[in-house]
Amino acid sequence: MCGIAGYMASDAATAPAVLDGFLAALSHRGPDGEGRYSAAGAGLAQTRLAIIDLKTGGQPLFGPGSTALVANGEIYNYLELEREFPSGSMRTASDCELPLLTHIRDGADFAAPLRGMYAIALHDAPERVLHLARDPFGIKPLYYAEYPGGILFASEAQALWKTGLLAKTVRPEKALELLQLQFTTGRATIHEAIQRVLPGETLTLRGGRIVNRSIRAALPEEPPRKISEEEALRQLDSALMDSVAVHQRADVPYGLFLSGGIDSSVILACMKRLNEAPVLAFTAGFPGTSAHDEREQAKAVARAVRANHVEVAVTDTQFWRRLPAIVACMDDPAADYAIVPTWLLAAEAAKELKVVLTGEGGDEIFAGYGRYRSALRSPFLGGRIMRKRGFLDGLGILREPARHWRDGIGAAERRIGATEMSPLQRAQALDFADWLPNDLLLKLDRCLMAHGLEGRTPMLDPVVANAGFCLPDGLKIARGMGKYLLRKWLSEALPAAQPFAAKRGFTVPVTEWIRPRAREIATAVAKSAGVAQVCVPDQVRRLFESFGDRGGKHQGIACWVLMFYALWHRIHIEQMRSDMDAVETLRG
């Protein structure tokens, strides 16, 4: 796991002096070393978090024919891929050397055989070509910006701003999309000059310009297969064990983020079968609030497999004190309140580990969300379109009617609607298009890498996706529950997880923490330059004051999203310090 960055200039005789700045901006992603590479019109930089091949795996890595590579991520099938090449082809024991070999064989399609999470920059000096590739699920981020002298790229958007070559301006339509959805969609980020390399995309650059794009899908684009429950369970067991096994490949200690839910309990059951030593598991809880506290259930599950269990209490004091630092790591903003416990869990886990496995992707692969069941029902029976309503709808605080905030979601709906997938698969695929990479995985990457900790997601693996996504609908949703087959597997593998018991959704009590101070921060949020660009300040102030008195859940979540964006704008656009508490930061 690392941070990568670089450039390709339009004129080979000139090159921006940005590599030092990139290394400084991405140092938190790679505290174990750094490297750089320069050639005619191109440069690469990497900061390293050493996970595999601690001795010889430093980057850049070099291949035959004057090729050079920097990568952020892990190639889990590197041992299997190595067997496809002549003995002695590898110069190191690094998993990230394999793309240099597949590039010789496959050219611009070098990423096609890779199983893993990655963002890769590969420079072919003789051809004067630079390839940028991102894994199909979008687990690892990669951004780029075109400027008059060529193209810059980096693992984080903030590293691109710090070059001084880009204007730091916000796209108003993306700010509104963020406030309505809590994340932004598609290629364009909230930053006017910065784009995302899409999940599964490979860009080919020549002369500082993009000359080709290709994309590889994460999900099988086919309808549900006919399969018996018995055979599906057998295939699922094989896929889960295979995925968790390769996700444990590391030369450093690893552990698990354990909630009281299905997905992380499944991973723990697999880890128990694969490891002789006890698994080290971390769980967050919210003492003194009405939020469901998962620590007791997680403790029971951990006890059943003799895991070492660490509980992390998340309090209102930590919320107000740490929120600016948490927001500071979200340069590409996602207003998901789970950033709070994720950041605090990472801070604790990083004291003992370099790698944690997490359960992201299980709900999307196996149809765990209630919104999928609702999407399948007739409107007359309570069904509804996913994400039809925005967080600020009906509150009367927007400057203009919010007509276009759903355009990105609509484009994904139309694209997915043209496939042969079933209606349930289409609902799942819609989450894979934007919600997963631009919210859940973005949150995981930034909150963990802020502490130099690598997060791995065994559910987001092609072997698991192939076994789970094309299951019959009845093996995904049954007994009024999603993730039926996964629950069935878990009931046999780890009964203490109680997979068929009624579960409460994961919530973070941000509205409880905000309510007592809503009046105190009302004016500061309302006057925020970012919020005022989209909303009417007086109406925002009244919203906070009303919520502080007697407001309901919808108002509370709106207050959270507005406060997040006000803090984000203060820190990332207005360049306020992030080492104060949230109220001080808001007041400026």
In the numeric block, which tokens belong to residue 123?
A: 């420079």
Distance CA 61, CA 68 (A): 6
Q: Count other C-beta atoms under 10 Å from residue 270's C-beta.
A: 24
Distance CA 134, CA 111 (A): 8
Q: Count other C-beta atoms under 10 Å from residue 49's C-beta.
A: 21
CA-atom Rg of the chain in angstroms: 23
**Closest Cα to residue 291, out of 556, 483, 477?**
556
Q: Sheet containing 254-257: which strands, arranged edge to edge?
A: 308-313, 280-285, 254-257, 355-357, 454-456
Domain boundaries, the chain: 2-215, 229-368+422-497, 510-587
The secondary element (H helix, E strand) that includes residue 215 is strand 209-215
The number of residues in the chain equals: 588
Would strands 355-357 and 254-257 be described as parallel, antiparallel, or unpaired? parallel
Instruction: Produce one character per residue of 142-178: b if its CB has 16 or more CB atoms within 10 Å, e if not.
Output: bbbbbbebbbbbbbbbbbbbbbebbebebbebbbbbb
Q: How many CA atoms, within 13 angstroms, populate the side-chain half-sphere of residue 17?
A: 0
Burial class (CB in 10 A: 0-12, 13-18, 19+), 128: middle
**Closest Cα to residue 438, out of 336, 325, 338?**
336
Per-residue pLDDT of the chain (588 residues; tens, 9 = 90+): 699 999 999 987 667 789 999 999 999 999 999 999 999 999 999 999 999 999 889 999 999 889 999 999 999 999 999 999 999 899 999 999 999 999 999 999 999 999 999 999 999 999 999 999 999 999 999 999 999 999 999 999 999 999 999 988 999 999 999 999 999 999 999 999 999 999 999 999 999 999 999 999 999 989 999 999 999 999 999 999 999 999 999 999 999 999 989 999 999 999 999 999 999 999 999 999 988 888 999 999 999 999 999 999 999 999 999 999 999 999 999 999 999 999 999 999 999 999 999 999 999 999 999 999 887 776 555 567 889 999 999 999 999 888 899 999 999 999 999 999 999 999 999 999 999 999 999 999 999 999 999 999 999 999 999 999 999 999 999 988 999 999 999 999 999 999 998 777 778 999 999 999 999 999 999 999 999 999 999 999 999 999 988 889 899 999 999 999 999 999 999 999 999 999 999 998
pLDDT at 378: 60
3-state DSSP assignment of residue 23: helix
**Superfamily of the domain at 2-215:** Aminohydrolase, N-terminal nucleophile (Ntn) domain (3.60.20.10)
- Asked whether this chain's domains 2-215 and 229-368+422-497 adopt the same fold, the reply is no
**Contact present, 172 and 533 (Cβ < 8 Å):** yes
3-state DSSP assignment of residue 529: helix
pTM to 2 decimals?
0.96
Instruction: Produce one character per residue of 520-553: b if its CB has 16 or more CB atoms within 10 Å, e if not.
Output: ebbbbbbbbebbbebbbbeebbbbbebbbeebee
* Sign of the dihedral through C-alpha 252, 153, 561, 371: negative
Architecture in CATH of 229-368+422-497: 3-Layer(aba) Sandwich (3.40)
In the numeric block, which tokens belong to residue 348?
A: 């604790």
- Which residues neighbour 402 within 8 Å (Cβ) at sequence distance 6 or greater? 176, 180, 390, 392, 393
Q: How many CA atoms, within 13 angstroms, populate the side-chain half-sphere of residue 26?
A: 36
